[in-house]
Structures are given as structure tokens and as C-alpha cells.
Structure 1
Amino acid sequence: VAIKAVSRDGIRRWGELPDGTRAPLEIVLLDKVSNGFPGVIQLLEWFELPNGFLLVMEHPEPSQDLSRLLRAWGFLPEAMAWGLFRQVLQAVRHCTSCGVLHRDIKPQNILLHVASGEAKLLDFGCGTFLKDTVYTQFAGTLSYSPPEWIYLKRYHGEEATIWSLGILLYQMVCGKHPFRKGPNTIWDQLPFPARVSPGCQHLVRWCLSIRPSDRPALEDLLCHPWVQDIPRP
């Protein structure tokens, strides 16, 4: 198992569990998604202490997060990236079905079981309840936030999620973040190595459409030909 300590002083957002218990929002969200789905880290138990809370979560062994794997390998073979990306899509779909928006999808928050290749989405500390209306507060990692947040300070949950999924897939197959940091980001330049298939390139470019309404819905991603078909090695 893994144990996470949360200081009471650091808790900014609270929620309510089904039995009416008041708890940090992270615990409430984990409780909603921890119903046995294999692609999301499961909250096993939690305890309230005088100065904070302890969260007891599953932790497959041996395992490592995706960012460590990318640092070691540089980039992933496309067939491997395909398998991991499909698992992440299913995890996001599960969260959506539970009414949860993760808001911090990135390699550091994807745990890989070394032996089986099973991926799990973890760390719901930036998450919130999913809603159809616009969000005007940001939580997560700024370099994975979409242009509409950078320029307009507003975003919709699914559209921002799709953007972060596009960055994630680009990182897996190219080994680096697609955009330079700083105010002069050129959003529409996405160079790909020749080894990346046209289908994968199309999917990434679609996810990283500048206009939010041009991005695919989550179900569109799941039905995309590249996601449906196993890439050739």
C-alpha cells in the first residue's frame, strides 16, 4: 500500500461523503472512483488525525510512474504508447462516469505495474466534481493547461482534459513536451519524428486544436482509428 499524509492546514476544499461525513475533497473524489475499476488507484481506507488525514491507497509492486519510464527510455515505442494511452482513456471515462474531473493528467500521475503493464491514474488532489458549465478556477499543472485558460482564464472540463491527453500522448511518442514554456508559445507548431505514424499524429493534433470546440469528445477519442487498431511496431 501507499500512505499519503494531508496536513489540515493545507486543505482548501472540502466535500461530503455519501454518509454525510465531511472530508477533504480529495477523499470524497477517491471514494467516488474507488469501486474496483482497475485503471484508477483505489482508496482502501482513510483516517482523521488531529493535524490532518492519512489516506491508505493501493500501490502495485513493482511499479513506477510514467515520467520515470520516459526519462529512462527517452520515448516509448508507438505500440507501447498505444496500450498505455488506451488504458488512460478508459480511466478518464470511468472518472467521468463517476462525476469526477481529475484536472492533472500527466506522466507523473500515471502509475505503471512493471510486470503486467497495467496503468493506473492516481493523485486526485487537484480534482473536482464534473460539471457542464465553465470553470473559472484552475488546479493542476500549468504546462498542461489549455490555451483558453492561459488567455481567457476559463475552460470546460472535457475540453481541458482532451488537451492534456494530447500533451500526454505527444510526450509518450516524442519524449518531450510539445510546447516551450513562456508567453511566446507557438501553439500550432507540432513537429513529429518520422517514426510516429500518421494516425497517431492526427490524434495528437486533434486533441491539441487551439479552438476548444474543434477538439474531439472523449468518446470520439475512443472511436478514433488509431485507438481502435494496434499500431505496427
Structure 2
Amino acid sequence: MRKKKWRFWKRLACFHFSRPRAGKSEKAQDEKVEQSEKLEQAGSSRCSDDQISLQNITCDVHQEAPSSKVLPSSEEQPRKEHLQKCVEGNLSEGEIKSPLTEQQDSEVATSSESDLITRTRSLEIGLTALANKGPSSPHIIELLDWQEFPDHYVMVLQCPSPCENLFDYLERCGGILDENFARHVMQQVVEAADKCCSRGVLHRDIKLENLLVNTDNLDVTLIDFGCGDLLHEMPYSTFSGTEEYCPPEYSETGKYHGRPATVFSLGVVLYTLVCGYYPDHTDLDKIKNWLWYLPSLSKECSHLINACLHPNPEERMPLDRLLLHDWFNVIPKVVETRAPCYGHTGSAL
């Protein structure tokens, strides 16, 4: 009988659950993967526990980036530790504030770009708030509120309705979009990426899964800043994101700059939308000499893909000049007002 009781209590002792605070994790690969998995498991339970029933908001914690990962380098670690201290520094234990509420109380702010991050322990919350700083952007997910708990945090984000991520939407359309519709999507994605960089935020994981499409009006929204960082002019030596969108210079030199890497990821998005698959090394070999093209695409579209995916970051088109490319300005912008893959009729914008 004593042995049975001992086994019972021994088994019971194994049922101990804990979640690490997202803002205190190191950016090492194993810890990042473990943290993402635990936050994904916790996301659905948090939403139900808080009884969030409004239809226009959603609780989102790393739910659309299953293949994102960190490719670490020891040279980046000291800067990460310094940034983490900034993130953890300015809130006392148990204190809850909303950076958006503080922004409304003081319209004229002269603080540095990192102030919104130093008000919270979570880097993701801080970057999302910083991307929302200033006039609202229709193509960046809006942070409505956030709250921290001893072992997790909750973000309340605006959710377009009805919507689905661009990866699923592309599958519904047969895996490929025509140029007119791809142009409509890319114009919004480029605007969102440029706005983030202008506000000091490097998203670093712009991909199909992190773009929401409103299936009624085809508006596109950029989400999930969990792999992001503060934008600076110095080269980065750690890549946090999705491998298919990783700039080739990181594989060759172990370093990359924020804006050229963003342009490369935008090029991968465009390539995938109009080709239906990811670019590979044979494509990059042709792009290196500006020779890549597809007969089914316009010469302007092929040129823009060469300009975004060039292996040499110095030869890529600058982010703030992408929307000036002929593909966005010369060809008439005519798309359906509803998704063509859903069988709706449409009209010119």
C-alpha cells in the first residue's frame, strides 16, 4: 500500500507546468524554437481564459510563422544582451501600461525610437507598438492593447474580417496570381515594409504566412513582429526569420543590412506570387547577370524580380524606390474588387 501511494505522489509530482517569459529569452536557436512552441500552445488558452469575444479583435502570439528560426552568431550576442536590458529596464514588477494609451496622452513626443520598447519587457510588443507609432498605417496590424503576466503576455490585435493569410489565399487561387492582382498585393506589402523601416523597425520575417488578405476588399496587412529587431545602419550577424527568405549575403559572409535584406524578402514574395514556387540557386545565378525572365511575365515584372533578388545587396533596388519602378507605374492597375479565385465579378480600381 505504501508503495502504491509513493508511486501516485511521484507521478503527480511530474505534472509541473511553466512557461518562460517571452521577453527574457536569449536569441539562441534552441531557446527561440522552444519558446515559440510553448507560446503557440499557450495562445489559444489565453484567448479563452480572457474571454475575448469581440469579432474585430484577436489574440495572436506567433501563430503564423511555423518555419521561422534564428541563425545565430556570437558577434551579435553582446548587442542582443544590451537590447534585452533596455527591454527589461523601465517597468516595475506587475506594472501594466499600454504604449498606445501613453502615445495618445502625449501627441508631441521627442523620445528616441527605442522608447516604446523600453516600456515593455517583450521585444515583440515593443516592435509592434513602434511600428504603430504615428499616423496609423492600413497595411500594418494595429496593436489595440497588451498585458503582461508573471509567465506570459497577451496582445490584442485588430483582425481584418473576413481574412486569411496570403499563403492559404494563394493556394485557393491555384498557387499563382496574375500580374495585375500581384501588383495590387505587392504595392501594399512594399508600403508596409517601408513604413516599418521609416519607424525604426526591421520586421525580418515578411512572408506569405505573415500577410493577411481581406477577402472582401483585398486589403493586405502585415502581422507578426516576433522575429524583428530595431533597425540600425550597422550590419546584422544573426538572422531571425524564415530560411527561404534569408538574403544570400548572410550565407556567404555571415552579415547583412536591414533594408537590402527586406528588399530581398519582398522579391521572394513577388516571385512566389507570380511563379508559384520559391526561387532557387539556378534562378539566383541568372539574376546575378540580370538574365532571369519568364515568357509569361511582362519585362517590367521580370526586371523588378532581378532588381529585388540580386545576390549582391549593393545592386538591389533601394527599398524607398521600389514603388517608383515601372511595374508599379507604367502598366494600368486593374484588379478585381473581390478575389478572382472565389468566382466573384470585379471592377477596375
TM-score by length of 2: 0.60
Tell me if 1:137 matches 2:238. yes
Please report how far the alpha carbon of residue 146 of structure 1 lies from its aligned counterpart in structure 2 after TM superposition. 1.0
CA-based RMSD of the aligned residues comes to 2.0
Contact (CA 8 Å) 2:132, 2:140: kept in 1 or not?
A: yes
Aligned CA distance change for structure 1 residues 19 and 147 (closer, same or farther; 3 Å): closer
Q: TM-score, normalised by structure 1?
A: 0.89
2:171 aligned residue (67, 71, 75): 71
Counterpart pick for 2:124 among 19, 26, 37: 26
Measured after TM superposition, the shift of residue 200 of structure 1 is: 0.3
Query: Would the alpha carbon gap of residues 18 and 208 (structure 1) be closer, same or farther in structure 2, given more than 3 Å must change?
Result: closer
Deviates more, 1:98-107 or 1:68-77: 68-77
Residue in 1 that maps onto 2:151: 51
Instruction: State the shift of 1:51 in Å.
Output: 1.3
Deviations 1:34-79 (A, max 9, x none): 2421110011111111211001101111101110111222101110
Deviation at 1:19, TM superposition (A): 9.1
Does the CA contact (< 8 Å) of 1:99 and 1:129 recur in 2?
yes
In 1, Cα distance between equivalents of 2:260 and 2:149: 38
Matches within 5 A, 1:58-207: 58-73=158-173, 74-179=175-280, 185-186=281-282, 187-189=284-286, 192-207=293-308
Q: CA deviation at 1:149?
A: 0.6
Partner SS state of residue 60, structure 2: strand
Say which is worse superposed, 70-79 or 111-120, in terms of deviation: 70-79
The higher relative CO (CA closer than 8 Å, separation ≥ 6) is in 1
Q: Distance in 2 between matches of 1:220 and 1:28?
A: 28
The Cα shift of 1:220 comes to 2.1
Residues 53 and 232 (structure 1), Cα distance of their counterparts in 2 relative to 1, 3 Å cut: closer
Bigger Rg, structure 1 or 2: 2
Counterpart of 1:226, as a letter, is: W
Q: Which moved more, 1:30-39 or 1:120-129?
A: 30-39
Structure 1 vs Structure 2: percent identity of aligned residues? 36
Task: Give the unaligned 5+ runs of structure 1.
Answer: 7-11, 180-184
Q: Which has the higher helix share?
A: 2
The aligned counterpart of 2:324 is 223
Distance change in 2, residues 1:208/1:19 (3 Å)? closer
Deviation at 1:174, TM superposition (A): 0.8
How many Å separate the matches in 2 of 1:232 and 1:34? 28
Residue in 1 that maps onto 2:66: none
The equivalent of 2:9 in structure 1 is none
**Match of 1:207, as an amino acid?**
C
The residue matched to 1:2 in structure 2 has which SS?
A: strand
Whether contact under 8 Å (2:117, 2:126) holds in the other structure is: no
> Which runs of 5 or more structure 2 residues have no equivalent in the other structure?
1-56, 63-80, 91-114, 335-349
Structure 1 residue 188, shift from structure 2 partner: 1.6
